[in-house]
Amino acid sequence: MPNMIPSLAEEIKKYNPEIGDYNSNIINEHLNHVIRFSNGLLEVPMDLYEAYKASRITEDQLKALARYEWL
């Protein structure tokens, strides 16, 4: 399965351009994805990543991620 994090990062960046450019990602000990942007880090909870992969993430959830608020 391809890594969907770069495309998720682009979606997040639409709502917060100041976050910078996608650089890389890792999976931490909580199985959350940690995305490294040029201006910092963003932890994406596993359930939101799974919702994104299944095309079930909402615009409100994407906006919340872009503001560093998790629903």
Segment 15-29, tens digit of pLDDT: 999 999 999 999 999
Is there a domain that residue 17 lies in? yes
Q: Please tell me the total count of domains within the chain.
A: 1
Is there a domain that residue 45 lies in? yes
Sorting pLDDT into bands at 50, 70 and 90, what band is 3? Answer: confident
What integer pLDDT is reported at residue 17 of this predicted model?
A: 94
Mean pLDDT, all residues of the chain? 91
What integer pLDDT is reported at residue 68 of this predicted model?
A: 80
Is there a domain that residue 30 lies in? yes
What are the backbone dihedrals phi and psi of residue 40, each rounded to the nearest 5 degrees, phi first? Answer: 145, -165
Is there a domain that residue 19 lies in? yes
Provide the domain limits for residue 12: 6-66
pTM as predicted? 0.87
Is there a domain that residue 71 lies in? no
